[in-house]
Amino acid sequence: MPQISLTVNGKPVSATVEARTLLVELLRDKLHLTGTHVGCDTSQCGACTVQVDGMSVKSCTMLAVQAEGASVLTIEGLVNADGSLHPMQAMFREHHALQCGYCTPGMVMSAIDLVETHPEGLSEEQIRHGLEGNLCRCTGYHNIVKAIAAAWPLMHNKALPVAAE
């Protein structure tokens, strides 16, 4: 069986996996990082979203062996060493953007990618479109959209530009 080495949440890890093992299975079953969830078999729901080398990736669509040498960030790695929350996590709480919590880790990881890749600003329409790959069955998205808009200024250290109509 293949042996792989990678960095997860800043720590080097090695594991022996089957060739068919998915990245999400490595994270959950071998590394016991159960914050990353599996919600579907078809890459539709986004509950398993993590960052691989700075890009958001559905970890159910990537083989563990493909992460050889990569740096993976999961929801567990977002919390600062002093226990304080990432601005996106904090805004999700502030705006009641989660209910059952199951889609939340993937939603937060996608939302961070969305904000990071849009330094020029984000309209509500862009946020809604940007969440296409993440399903939430509880919130109706209203508060998730609000939370992301509220996190943008905190992550970019400036006011969110008002979209030109």
Partner 1 sequence: MVVDGIGASVKRKEDLRFLSGRGNYVDDMNRPGQTFAHFLRSDVPHGKINKVDISAALKMPGVVAIFTGDDFTGVGGIPCGWQIHSKDGSPMVEPRHPVLAAGKVRHVGDPIAMVVAETKQQAKDAAEAIVLDIETLPAVAGMTAALAAGAPLVHDEAAGNVCFDWHIGDKAAVEAGFAKAHKVVRLDLVNNRLVPNAMEPRAAIGDYDVSSGEYTLYTTSQNPHVIRLLMGAFVLSIPEHKLRVVAPDVGGGFGSKIFHYAEEAALTWAAGKVKRPIKWTADRTEAFITDAHGRDHISTAELALDSEGNFLALKVNTQANMGAYLSTFAPSVPTYLSATLLAGVYKTPAIYAEVKAVFTNTVPVDAYRGAGRPEATFLVERIVDVAAREMNMDKVEIRKKNFIPKEAFPYQTPIALQYDSGDYMATFDGCLKAADYAGFEARRKASAAKGKLRGIGISTYVEACGIAPSAVAGALGARAGLYEVANIRVHPTGSVTVFTGAHSHGQGHETTFAQLVSEQLGVPHDMIDIVHGDTGKVPFGMGTYGSRSLSVGGSAMVKAMDKIIDKGKKIAAHLMEADVHDIEFKDGKFSVVGTDKAKTFGEIALTAYVPHNYPIEELEPGLEETAFYDPKNFTYPGGCHIAEVEIDPDTGTVGMVSFTAVDDIGRVINPMIVEGQVQGGIAQGIGQALLEHAIYDESGQLLSGSMMDYTMPRADDIPNISVGTEVTLCTHNPLGSKGVGEVGAIGSPPAVINAVVDALRDYGVRHVDMPATPAKIWALIDAYQPKMAAE
Strand segments, DSSP code E, in the chain are 3-8, 11-16, 49-52, 55-58, 71-73
Closer of 53 and 132 to partner 1 (Cβ)? 132
Torsion of CA 73, 131, 144, 148, to 10 degrees: 70
Q: Decide: helix, strand or coil at residue 17.
A: coil
40 binds partner 1 (CB under 8 A): yes
2 binds partner 1 (CB under 8 A): no
Q: Rounded to the nearest whole angstrom, what is the least distance from the CB of residue 88 to partner 1 in the complex?
A: 9
The answer to whether residue 70 forms part of the interface with partner 1 (CB under 8 A) is no
Which residue, 137 or 158, is less far from partner 1 as judged by CB?
137
Cβ–Cβ < 8 Å for 105, 74: yes
User: 2, 117, 142, 161: which one contacts partner 1 (CB under 8 A)?
Assistant: 142
Question: Is 158 near partner 1 (CB under 8 A)?
Answer: no
Residue 104 near partner 1 by CB under 8 A = yes
Q: How are beta strands 71-73 and 3-8 bridged, if at all?
A: parallel
37 vs 145: CA distance, rounded Å? 21
Residue 80: count other Cβ atoms within 10 Å of its Cβ. 10
CB 11 within 8 A of CB 54: no
Figure out which of the listed residues 102, 112, 122, 151 binds partner 1, where binding follows CB under 8 A.
Answer: 102
Q: Is 56 in the site for partner 1 (CB under 8 A)?
A: no
Q: Provide the minimum distance between the beta carbon of 116 and partner 1 in the complex, in angstroms, as a whole number.
A: 18
By CB under 8 A, name the binding residues for partner 1. Answer: 18, 20, 28, 33-42, 44-45, 47, 74-76, 78-79, 85, 89, 92-94, 96, 98-105, 108, 124-125, 127-129, 131-132, 134-145
